[in-house]
Amino acid sequence: GAVVSQHPSWVICKSGTSVKIECRSLDFQATTMFWYRQFPKQSLMLMATSNEGSKATYEQGVEKDKFLINHASLTLSTLTVTSAHPEDSSFYICSARDSTGSQPQHFGDGTRLSIL
């Protein structure tokens, strides 16, 4: 079945650094990928929609300069949390849309980001 790989699975870094998270569709091409953020005991909140070859579409309240998204190929999207602070600590999940399949999105395993 369709597989989405997310890397790294866990990252701990100091406040002020930038962190890049990768999301890859391993066996299908994904023209659209999605980035979610999940707080403890809460639902997944869509942050942005990433479209291959064009600018990402951000949801209301999400700072595009803080969360940089790049979708340079049909199998890779990256999320960079710039100048991360402790309040950015969260669980980030990506998903990829397989336009040929019947499921709307396939999900990665998520990245646990901890900012000290």
Partner 1 sequence: AQSVSQHNHHVILSEAASLELGCNYSYGGTVNLFWYVQYPGQHLQLLLKYFSGDPLVKGIKGFEAEFIKSKFSFNLRKPSVQWSDTAEYFCAVTPFTGGGNKLTFGTGTQLKVEL
Binding mask 42-81 for partner 1 (x = CB under 8 A): xxxxx--x-------x------------------------
Do 114 and 89 touch, CB atoms closer than 8 A? Answer: yes
Asked if 4 is part of the footprint of partner 1 (rule: CB under 8 A), the reply reads yes
What's the CA angle centered on 36, arms 17 and 114, to 5 degrees?
A: 35
Binding span for partner 1 by CB under 8 A among 15-23, 64-72, 80-88, 98-106: 98-106
Binding span for partner 1 by CB under 8 A among 10-18, 20-28, 79-87, 101-109: 101-109
- Does residue 64 come out as left (phi exceeding 0), alpha (psi in the -120 to 50 range) or beta? alpha
